[in-house]
Amino acid sequence: MTTLYFHTFNSPLGLLHFAHANDVVYALAFAEFQEQLMEQLQKRFAENLNLQPAPNAAIEELLERYFAGDINALSLIQTHTDGTPFQQEVWQGLRGIPAGQTTSYQQLAQEIGKENGQRAVGTANGRNPIPLIIPCHRVINSNGKLGGYSGALWRKEWLLKHEGVVCER
């Protein structure tokens, strides 16, 4: 049986729900996606999930620091994801994008050795179980436009502006 703890954090972008254990985040979603978050956790852990409400001061402090202007604070939060080897590679690549910078789907595909894999990278990006902390918001279209974001496009724009990046919608 896997025991995870569930907590809600009040951010400038609305409520953030996250599942954690031992200072590691397993899943995160904005408030309107809470149901999908729960479904995702049930799918990942099947019958072996014990989900309990509990805060995590270390994770909350890093989220607070990020929203207060320390744009590098998210890189200090540990994550645990389950996915295909390709998805894991993409998500690791996302963690390597520095705060305040962006990359394109095409550039990220090239960085992980998948020359023409920008669509597959986009799909893996969209399946990111820990948006914000695994910073899929830092991936934009090669034409400089925002592209998509699972947490809503207005949030992606807000996050990038918060990190000092100006993008076209």
Amino acid at site 148: G
The residue annotated as part of the active site, out of 136, 140, 159, 160, is: 136
Kindly state whether residue 131 falls inside one of the protein's structural domains: yes
Tell me: the pLDDT tens digits for 8-20?
999 999 999 999 9
Kindly state whether residue 169 falls inside one of the protein's structural domains: no
Note whether 71 and 105 are same-domain residues. Answer: no
Note whether 136 and 70 are same-domain residues. Answer: no
Note whether 6 and 51 are same-domain residues. Answer: yes
Structural domain of 156: 83-162
Note whether 20 and 73 are same-domain residues. Answer: yes
Is residue 167 part of the annotated active site? The answer reads no
Question: What local confidence, expressed as pLDDT, does residue 32 receive?
Answer: 93
Question: What local confidence, expressed as pLDDT, does residue 147 receive?
Answer: 87
Distance from C-alpha of 103 to C-alpha of 27, rounded to nearest angstrom: 23
* Domain's final residue, options 33, 55, 78: 78
Kindly state whether residue 167 falls inside one of the protein's structural domains: no
Rounded percentage of the chain residues whose pLDDT exceeds 90: 83
Question: What local confidence, expressed as pLDDT, does residue 48 receive?
Answer: 85
Kindly state whether residue 27 falls inside one of the protein's structural domains: yes
Task: Flag residues of the chain having pLDDT under 50.
Answer: none
Number of domains in the chain: 2
Sheet with strand 78-79: strands edge to edge = 49-53, 2-11, 14-21, 24-30, 78-79
* Domain's final residue, options 44, 78, 112: 78
Question: What local confidence, expressed as pLDDT, does residue 77 receive?
Answer: 98
The CATH number that applies at residue 36 is 3.30.160.70
Burial label, 95 (beta-carbon count in 10 A; 0-12, 13-18, 19+): middle
Q: Three-class SS string for the chain?
A: CEEEEEEEEEECCEEEEEEEECCEEEEEEEHHHHHHHHHHHHHHHHHHEEEEECCCHHHHHHHHHHHCCCCCHHHHCEECCCCCHHHHHHHHHHHCCCCCCCEEHHHHHHHCCCCCCHHHHHHHHHCCCCECCECHHHEECCCCECCCCCCCHHHHHHHHHHCCCCCEC
The CATH number that applies at residue 156 is 1.10.10.10
Distance from C-alpha of 94 to C-alpha of 88, rounded to nearest angstrom: 10
